[in-house]
Structures are given as structure tokens and as C-alpha cells.
Structure 1
């Protein structure tokens, strides 16, 4: 009896556990609403001159002058003298050519007079037949005339070579590099330096194939008369995001790149070195920049924050106290948000709280909900405002 009593006295008591269907996870959700989404396409590229020229010596000789503005980084005006080659030898060639021309003209005048005398002599001779050209000295006169033309051409060439001893800026621009210095003797076709026009710079920007559908690209030949239709581009320095420049897409590459299989667009920035723009940081050639290209506006788009997307393929929806895994098709995505083409609709309650690899049907309870997709709008309007800001 004592043993039985001890068994009943010491038996374990049952603990009360929560019901298996009672939700243990608290989630925050947002009710999806369609909105107009301005698309911004991101790309990267190097700043390059719109026009770049290699200065080449067209005559040989010794460098006797280099302008300060012709040195690396210098700005120069159109028509400004950048370099000069010793002109003495070429001035001598001009003097010789002028003397040869004067001699050729004198010989021509002499032959012209002799031809007139020969014609008169033929008439006085009484011969009724037609005089031969040699008798009338026509070949001699033609040769003298040809000698005058040759002398003129030689003088023109000598004057041209003399002019070529002065290397003059073909446009308003800036010096990129200088390869020679004063006293150096250069030959014909020697590379003297590199210059570029400073009225505009261009950036080649590769575009993913999936992003082309969101851009109005200047593919037609007469796009130049529709400048207002060209997509705007906001460029930012990779070193300082506060340095910004605004430009436009002016053309596309003529072919798909063989290696990347991407089409590139060319963005142009006018007056990149204009000091009138207070606070505008000057661009540098070969500078690496990030670009946001203004794309189309997607009407009535379903836009969700990236943090709600799992493995780039699905999201979780809140339905009747449980979570449901929903596959999605993303048509466009940036660093903040994604535009969904298929899988979601207006009124769906999107789970924003990270819940890992939850199983569909897992019971959850609501935390504070986000009203009218304010969370999504906050995530995405940052990109819109940043792209729409002016430098």
C-alpha cells in the first residue's frame, strides 16, 4: 500500500503547451497598390573627348617654340599658335620658288613674242598653205606656259611648307599630352602631342538587353532635330557622389558588342569645363562615372522593395492568418526596388518582415501594417528624386 501511494504521489504532472496552430511569428505587411514608375537605367563608363586630335609634324625641322597652353592641361583658343618649327629653310625654298616663277614668266613672254614674229614672217613669205605648229613656235610657247604653271605650283608648295612650320589649334580646346620640347629635331609625321575639343565630352554606356525596352533611343537618322526627345542622363563621380553632371543620350553604337553582346549608348555633356557653373566640379578625361539614364514611365506598375524578394524569384503574401509563397517575374530592378510583371496584383498583402525559408501555410500574426504601400514608396521615390535632381 505504501508503494502504490508513493507511485501516485510522485507521478509527473502534464505541462500546458500552446496550441500547434497558434501563430508564433509576427510580420509586417503592405497592401500593394499600382503606381506610375519612372524607370532609371544604371550604367558605367569612361569620360572621353567628343573630338580628339593627334598633332603631327607635316614638315621636318627643329622645334623653336611651344606655347604654355600647349603643355599638358593647358586651354587654348581656336587659331592659337601651339608650336613652331624653325622656318629658315622653308623661307629659302619660297624665295627660290618665287625667283623660278619670275624666270618662267620671262621665258614665256619671250616665247610669246617669238611666236608672233614667226606668224608674221609666215604671212610675209606668201605661202598659201597652212603653217606647221613648229614653224609658228607653238610647242615652244606651250612649254614656256607649262613652265610657268609648274613654277606657280612649286611656289605654292613652298609657301604651304612654310605655313606648316606653325602648328595652329584647329578648335577651342585643351592639351592632353605633349611629346616634344624646344630644341628637339623632328621628322615628317612625328607625333607632337594630343589635344581635344572642350565644348563637350562623351561617355559610352553599355546597356543590358533587358533594359533596352525601357529606353527611347535615338536610332533614326534625323533625331538631331528632335533634341528635346533625347533621354536625359545624370552622371556621378565614382569617387564623390556629390559631383554630378547632366547630359543627354545623343546616339547609339552602330552594332552589338561582340564580346558582351550589349548595345551601347553615347551620352554627351555640353560645356563640361565651363567656370560659370558655380559649384560644378569639372570632369576629367578618362574619369570613371556612374550614369542613370531616364527611361520610360511604366503605368500602373506593381513595385515592391528588394528586401521582400527571396532568391530573386518569389515573395511571401499574407492571407487569412498564414503566409503563402508566391513566385514572381521581375521585369526591371534597381538597387532599391523591382517592377513585377507577373505574380502579384493590387490588393495583395506583401510580407516585408524577413522570415527566411518559411513554408507556405505557416501561421503568422500581424505587427503594425504599412498603410497604402508607404514603405514601397519610400524605398523607390529616393531613386526617382535622385535621378531627377539637377547638378
Structure 2
């Protein structure tokens, strides 16, 4: 007689078998994965290094320098001002009856050009009266001379001795002196009247440009009243400001007949490209500029309005600001290089036997374009002109055309 199977005893056995199967499958999957990874890495192509790393010399540009005598440039800014300017005034009173077209702001006038005329009627009448008084005084003088002749004749006829003190009175010498003085006074009055009449015509005292006009036709003017402003056209000044530290590099002359240092003037925003004007350094003004606290110097420019058209110069404008390049005192036995070639801490890069050398230099002067080296560079040194990515003393260098080493 068969006994029944106990299902409760069989279930644990099946469960253990299933778990063992799952573990084995998972282990096999992991092993296969590791095998695939090993196969991939073992069959990957490897990079082989054919050449070893080598040091390449830096490509540079150089320029040879020379010692010599150079003239530095001191660049400053200045304002154009008239060297000769007047306020035209009236020396007589009256009504303006004529105004010429030349008396217009901006016009140029020659010396002696009539600008205004004041009504001369009163002055002509005064002159006529003074001339009549002069004729009367001369007639009185001639009559007194006749009286003196008569007195001398009567004195001689008397034949008596008269004290010397009464001699002059008898001969009417005081009366003759009075008549002579009246003639002189009348002549002076005529001259004054002629001057007043001439002053009714207002003329330009020198070649000038009219800057302003303050009266017009029909205006009533009085003695001393301002009529307008004139600026001489023969010469302008450029009043420039210079740092005090650079004054020692400028040369001034105390002789007005001697020309100062040459100056080149630029008005970049006004004049055509490349056009300049020439001037001369004239004088150091003994006063500092109120705003910048710098020294003031005067630069003279002849023919500022370029009236001589043959030379093709640009005209200068009063009140304009120009850039002035003043030639300084020459420097002897120095090396001149572009100022950008002076590196940090006043050093210069030099190529020595295809290697980089960093030189400390002593700078005598530095202007806007150049540096003037007093010590640290010698004649024939090759200065590196381009920038380098790595600056190490002794680094290898090469020039264009040398090829790689």
C-alpha cells in the first residue's frame, strides 16, 4: 500500500534548486561580461611614438642699434593767440557817418585802411577858427615888431643915458615876447584842431584781421569808447604748457634776433592729413599755468594766415588748440630705440648668439616715440622687436630663414 507524498517537504527542495540555478546563471553572465571586456581591451590598437619630443627655438625679429647723437622731441599742447592785438578806440566824439565793408569781423585789412568815419563838421569849424586866431596872432606880432623899431629910433634920438634896467622896457621887448607867445599858442591850437579832424577817420594801425565790431553806422561815440578789436596778421603765438621736468631739455634764447628751437605744429582735426606748420620756440613765460601747474612757453609762427599762397600752408585759427613738437637739446653717445621696445622694469630683450638676454637699461630721455638709452645697450646689439610668449633668459632663438634646429 503506497504512502501519500508530502507536498510540504517537496516545496523546500524545489526552492533551493531554483535559487541555485539563478545564482549560476548570474555568475555566468558576469563571467561572460568580464571576458568581453578583456577581449575588447586586448584587441585595441596601440599608439606608438616614432619621434621623441624636442625643443624648438623661438622665432624672433630683431633690429641692430647704433650709438650716436640724436635730438629728442618734446610734444606739448598749445593754444593759438595773437602776438599783436588791440582794442580800437575813438579819440574824438561824434556820430559815425561812414562804415567801410572792411570793418567786418573776419576781414583782413592793410595798414592805414579806413574803417570808420566820424562826422567832421564840428572839427572843420574848429580848425577854421583856430587858423583865424593864428592869423590874428601873426598880425599882432608884426605890429609889435614895428612898434619896437619905432621905440628904438626914438630912444636913439633922445641920446640920453638910461639905466640898463629900463632899456628893455623902452624897447618894448616884453610886448614882443607876448606877441610871439600868442603866435606859438595859436599854431599849437591849429595843430590840435588838425589832429582832431584827422582822428575822425578811424584807420587800421597795422596789417590786421578784424575780430569784432562794437559800433555801426549812426552810432554816437565818445572819446575812449571801444569800437572793435584787431589782431595783427604778421605773426601769431602758440602758448603751450610744458611739464617742469622737461624744461631742461628745451633751449631758449635771450636775443630776440636769434631764432629759437624749431617746432612742428599739427592740427589733426582741422588741417588735411600730413599738413603741418613750422614755428620757433621764443620765450619762457615766468608764470605757471593756473590749472595744470605747468610752465608756459611761447612759440612764434610767421604768416599764420598763409597769405603767401605759393607755399601752400594751412591757415591757423585763433583760439585753436594745436599739437607742438619741439626739438629738444641733442643727446650725445646714446642709443635710440622705439619706446615700446623698453619692457617691464626698464629692460630690453637682446639676442646674443641665438639666445635671449634680458638687459637692464638706463634711460636718459623718453619722448612719445623713442627711448634714448644711455647705458645697457651697445653699438651693434640686436634688439628683439616682437613680443614673446615665454621670456626666459638663455632661451633659444632663431631668425626667419634659419629653419628649425
Shorter chain as denominator, the TM-score bin is 0.7 to 0.9
Partner of 1:249: 280
Report the CA distance between 1:261 and its aligned residue: 5.1
Runs of at least 5 residues in structure 1 that lack an aligned partner in the other structure:
1-5, 11-15, 372-391
CA distance 1:341–1:209, shift in 2 (3 Å): farther
Q: Is 1:234 paired with 2:264?
A: yes
Matches within 5 A, 1:1-391: 26=58, 28-30=60-62, 32-36=64-68, 37-130=70-163, 131-208=166-243, 211=246, 215=250, 217-221=251-255, 223-224=257-258, 230-239=260-269, 240=271, 242=273, 244-249=275-280, 251-253=282-284, 255=286, 257=288, 260=293, 262=295, 264-270=297-303, 272-274=305-307, 276-277=309-310, 279-295=312-328, 298=331, 301-311=334-344, 313-317=346-350, 325-354=358-387, 361=393, 364-366=395-397, 368=399
Distance 2:273 2:136 in 1: 71
Q: Is the 8 A contact 1:218 1:249 kept in 2?
A: no
Distance 2:90 2:55 in 1: 84
Of stretches 154-163 and 310-319 in structure 1, the one that deviates more from structure 2 is 310-319
The size of the alignment, in residue pairs, is 349
CA distance 1:332–1:157, shift in 2 (3 Å): same
Runs of at least 5 residues in structure 2 that lack an aligned partner in the other structure:
1-33, 42-48
Q: Is the 8 A contact 1:71 1:177 kept in 2?
A: yes
Distance 1:153 1:24 in 2: 101
CA distance 1:52–1:146, shift in 2 (3 Å): same
Partner of 2:7: none
Distance 2:302 2:365 in 1: 27
Q: Is the 8 A contact 1:303 1:337 kept in 2?
A: yes
Report the CA distance between 1:286 and its aligned residue: 1.9
Distance 2:401 2:85 in 1: 55
SS state at 2:193 partner: helix
SS state at 1:181 partner: coil
Report the CA distance between 1:165 and its aligned residue: 0.8
Distance 1:281 1:191 in 2: 32
Could you tell me the TM-score, scaled by structure 2's length?
A: 0.73
Distance 1:270 1:39 in 2: 27
Report the CA distance between 1:236 and its aligned residue: 1.4
Report the CA distance between 1:359 and its aligned residue: 7.4
Distance 2:322 2:388 in 1: 37
Tell me the C-alpha RMSD between the 2 structures.
3.6
SS state at 2:237 partner: strand
Distance 1:220 1:114 in 2: 65
CA distance 1:209–1:370, shift in 2 (3 Å): farther
CA distance 1:30–1:301, shift in 2 (3 Å): farther
Distance 1:195 1:243 in 2: 31
Could you tell me the TM-score, scaled by structure 1's length?
A: 0.75
Q: Is the 8 A contact 2:347 2:359 kept in 1?
A: yes
SS state at 2:310 partner: coil
CA distance 1:335–1:146, shift in 2 (3 Å): same
Report the CA distance between 1:38 and its aligned residue: 4.3
Report the CA distance between 1:106 and its aligned residue: 1.9
Distance 1:272 1:245 in 2: 13
SS state at 2:169 partner: coil
CA distance 1:283–1:370, shift in 2 (3 Å): farther
Q: Is the 8 A contact 1:27 1:352 kept in 2?
A: no
SS state at 1:219 partner: coil
Q: Deviations over 1:221-280 (max 9, x none)?
A: 2744xx5xx533221113146263432416222536476453624232336332523753
